[in-house]
């Protein structure tokens, strides 16, 4: 059988060369389009459901949010397992699908079930899906290097400018902010004054909510000109909150400042972000979308950050905290060095022992062609170029060279024997 294949190949050299050229061209294309990452993604195929109900203890979250969600998510096709976790003010539900399930099909199925489960949750509580990324999707971390700015200002800059700009990059699923203080207006009521004026605390809360809104009116015409009437009522500073009336006693309004103190503060924090022991930092984590090419996504993010940096306040710059592209480039460089070294060593060994250049070229040519065929297989089976797969290719090249040397040496001996 092998003799017939060899004979057919020798008789149809042009066809064999055309097949080899097509294989090389398709292999080069596969190298360019195959997703590149540093490490293989072994995370589970999951959809995360996050529900927030601030101020409630874990037992209430478990009974009124987590349990109804888990109960109604049962029966989704291709689900392997459902896990849940309840904590103070938050609920997490992890729906684990089989590995061969399309992630976006799975997310649509979960959304269908969530629509039915919404009626079982407390009023005003809305579950949301987590980002369409994996556990290894954190491909780029950055911090805002800004001497002279406080943590609240940097967090506001990150949340309202930088994050929105980077989320528009193709392949980015989410930009998660970390560090700093999230600014908020804080109303600290005095219980003694509330009791003195006989004002319930919920009345204060409702009055502040009602006075923080714009209202629409109608069109008013005068002298053939139409004017749109609207009421502007959004809170813009602390003094506006202080002057909100909450009750009337003997025709005298009782304002917020009469029963409480108002201040600008930060939201409750569960931890801090410190960089190299130099103090707290504010920054973001770029989460890559499922199935994207990590190196291409990082390159796009860097280009976008160069544009965003032009609009930052004076003195504010980006500082890289983690860049996976460095590890990716090192992984690819290792494979290149291994292939080049093997080609050089094989060429020298064959030429020294066989003293025949054409025989050495036969084995040398098979090395890059075999690597390209491996990338074709990786593209077909959806395997990313990572440190594990590329290391396997490098090791396989060594076995391929051993077999090539043995076959060429036997062929040389056979040919020399026939010529004798």
What CATH number does residue 223 fall under?
3.30.2090.10
SS3 131: coil
Q: Order of strands across the sheet with 283-288?
A: 172-178, 283-288, 138-145, 317-323
Instruction: Say if 140 falls within a structural domain.
Output: no
Gyration radius (Cα) of the chain, Å: 33
State the Cα–Cα distance between residues 188 and 251, nearest whole angstrom. 25
Instruction: Say if 286 falls within a structural domain.
Output: no
Look at the block and give the residue holding tokens 């009626």: 119
227 secondary structure, DSSP code: E
CB–CB of 51/127 below 8 Å?
Answer: yes
* Residue 224 Cα distances to 210, 219, 363, angstroms: 35, 12, 90
Which one of 213, 236, 266 terminates a domain?
266
CATH of the domain at 26: 1.20.1640.10
Assess whether 124 and 198 both reside in one domain.
no
The one-digit pLDDT tens for each residue of the chain (420 residues) are 777 877 787 788 888 889 888 988 998 888 888 887 777 777 788 999 999 988 888 999 999 999 999 988 888 898 999 999 999 889 999 999 998 888 889 999 999 888 888 888 888 888 989 888 887 888 999 999 888 888 888 888 999 899 999 999 999 988 999 988 888 889 999 999 999 999 999 999 999 988 888 887 778 888 888 888 888 888 888 999 999 999 888 888 999 999 999 988 888 787 788 888 888 889 999 999 888 888 889 999 999 999 999 888 888 999 999 998 888 888 778 777 877 787 777 777 777 776 667 777 777 787 788 888 888 888 888 777 777 777 777 777 777 777 777 777 777 777 676 554
Which among 113, 67, 54 is positioned nearest to 93, based on CA atoms? Answer: 67
Instruction: Say if 141 falls within a structural domain.
Output: no
State the Cα–Cα distance between residues 215 and 231, nearest whole angstrom. 5
The angle subtended at Cα 149 by Cα 147 and Cα 152, nearest 5°, is: 140
Instruction: Say if 145 falls within a structural domain.
Output: no
The angle subtended at Cα 269 by Cα 268 and Cα 272, nearest 5°, is: 160
Q: How many domains does the chain have?
A: 3
Strand partners of residue 18 = none
Q: What is the pLDDT of residue 417?
A: 64
Instruction: Report the DSSP pairing between strands 128-129 and 45-52.
Output: antiparallel
Assess whether 26 and 101 both reside in one domain.
no
Instruction: Say if 139 falls within a structural domain.
Output: no
State the Cα–Cα distance between residues 363 and 357, nearest whole angstrom. 10
State the Cα–Cα distance between residues 119 and 203, nearest whole angstrom. 28
Assess whether 23 and 48 both reside in one domain.
no
Which one of 132, 157, 173 terminates a domain?
132
Strand partners of residue 245 = 255
CB–CB of 178/283 below 8 Å?
Answer: yes
State the Cα–Cα distance between residues 369 and 166, nearest whole angstrom. 39
Assess whether 85 and 29 both reside in one domain.
no
Range of the domain at 392: 2-37+328-419
Which one of 266, 286, 313 terminates a domain?
266
SS3 37: coil
Assess whether 89 and 16 both reside in one domain.
no
Instruction: Say if 261 falls within a structural domain.
Output: yes
State the Cα–Cα distance between residues 39 and 288, nearest whole angstrom. 14
Assess whether 7 and 61 both reside in one domain.
no
Instruction: Say if 156 falls within a structural domain.
Output: no
CATH of the domain at 101: 3.30.70.1430
Assess whether 124 and 56 both reside in one domain.
yes
Q: What is the pLDDT of residue 374?
A: 85
CA dihedral (318, 324, 325, 329) positive or negative: positive
Assess whether 125 and 75 both reside in one domain.
yes
Instruction: Say if 11 falls within a structural domain.
Output: yes
State the Cα–Cα distance between residues 71 and 103, nearest whole angstrom. 21
How remote is the C-alpha of 176 from its chain's centroid?
A: 9
Q: What is the pLDDT of residue 126?
A: 87
Q: Strands, DSSP E only, in 244-396?
A: 245-249, 252-255, 260-266, 283-288, 317-323
Assess whether 332 and 414 both reside in one domain.
yes
Assess whether 27 and 65 both reside in one domain.
no
Assess whether 335 and 411 both reside in one domain.
yes
* Residue 100 Cα distances to 6, 78, 106, angstroms: 40, 9, 11
Which residues are CB-neighbours of 22 under 8 A, at least 6 positions away? none
State the Cα–Cα distance between residues 165 and 168, nearest whole angstrom. 6
Task: Please report, to the nearest 10 degrees, the dihedral formed by the alpha carbons of residues 333, 334, 339, 344 taken in order.
Answer: 90
H helices of 118-269, in order, are 151-157, 163-166, 191-197, 201-210, 238-242, 256-259
CB–CB of 273/178 below 8 Å?
Answer: yes
160 secondary structure, DSSP code: I
State the Cα–Cα distance between residues 251 and 216, nearest whole angstrom. 29
Look at the block and give the residue holding tokens 């209430």: 60
Q: What is the pLDDT of residue 318?
A: 92
Assess whether 403 and 337 both reside in one domain.
yes
State the Cα–Cα distance between residues 163 and 404, nearest whole angstrom. 54
CA dihedral (126, 132, 134, 139) positive or negative: negative
Instruction: Spell 292-321 as b/e; 16+ CB within 10 A means b.
Output: bbbbebbebbbebbeebeeebeeebebeeb
């Amino acid at each position: 059988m092998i003799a017939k294949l060899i004979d057919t190949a020798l008789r149809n050299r042009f066809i064999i060369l055309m097949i080899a050229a097509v294989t090389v061209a398709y292999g080069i294309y596969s190298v360019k389009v195959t997703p590149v990452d540093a490490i293989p993604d072994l995370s589970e195929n999951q959809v995360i459901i996050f529900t927030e109900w601030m101020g409630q203890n874990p037992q209430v979250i478990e009974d009124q949010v987590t349990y109804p969600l888990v109960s109604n998510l049962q029966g989704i096709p291709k689900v392997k397992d459902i896990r849940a976790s309840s904590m103070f003010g938050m609920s997490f539900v992890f729906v684990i699908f089989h590995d061969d399930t399309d992630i976006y099909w799975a997310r649509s199925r979960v959304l269908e079930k969530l629509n039915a489960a919404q009626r079982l949750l407390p009023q005003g509580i809305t579950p949301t899906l987590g980002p369409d990324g994996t556990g290894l999707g954190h491909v780029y971390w950055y911090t805002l290097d800004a001497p002279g700015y406080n943590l609240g200002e940097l967090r506001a800059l990150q949340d309202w400018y930088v994050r929105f700009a980077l989320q528009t990059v193709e392949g980015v699923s989410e930009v998660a902010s970390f560090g700093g203080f999230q600014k908020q207006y804080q109303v600290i009521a005095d219980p003694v004054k509330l009791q003195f004026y006989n004002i319930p605390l919920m009345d204060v809360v409702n009055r502040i909510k009602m006075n923080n809104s714009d209202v629409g009116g109608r069109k008013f015409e005068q002298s053939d000109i139409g004017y749109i009437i609207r009421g502007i009522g959004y809170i813009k500073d602390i003094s506006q909150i202080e002057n909100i009336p909450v009750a009337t006693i003997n025709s005298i309004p009782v304002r917020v400042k009469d029963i409480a103190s108002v201040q600008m503060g930060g939201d409750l924090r569960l931890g801090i972000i410190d960089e190299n022991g130099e103090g707290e930092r504010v920054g973001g984590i770029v989460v890559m979308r499922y199935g994207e090419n990590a190196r291409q996504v990082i390159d796009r993010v860097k280009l976008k950050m160069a544009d965003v940096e032009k609009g930052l306040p004076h003195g504010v710059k980006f500082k890289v905290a983690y860049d996976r592209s460095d590890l990716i480039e090192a992984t690819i460089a290792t494979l290149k060095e291994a292939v080049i070294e093997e080609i050089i060593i094989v060429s020298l060994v064959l030429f020294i022992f066989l003293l025949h250049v054409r025989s050495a070229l036969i084995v040398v040519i098979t090395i890059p062609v075999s690597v390209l065929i491996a990338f074709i297989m990786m593209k077909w089976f959806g395997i990313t170029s990572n440190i594990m797969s590329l290391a396997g290719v490098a090791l396989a090249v060594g076995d391929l060279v051993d077999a090539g040397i043995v076959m060429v040496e036997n062929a040389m001996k056979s040919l020399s024997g026939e010529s004798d």
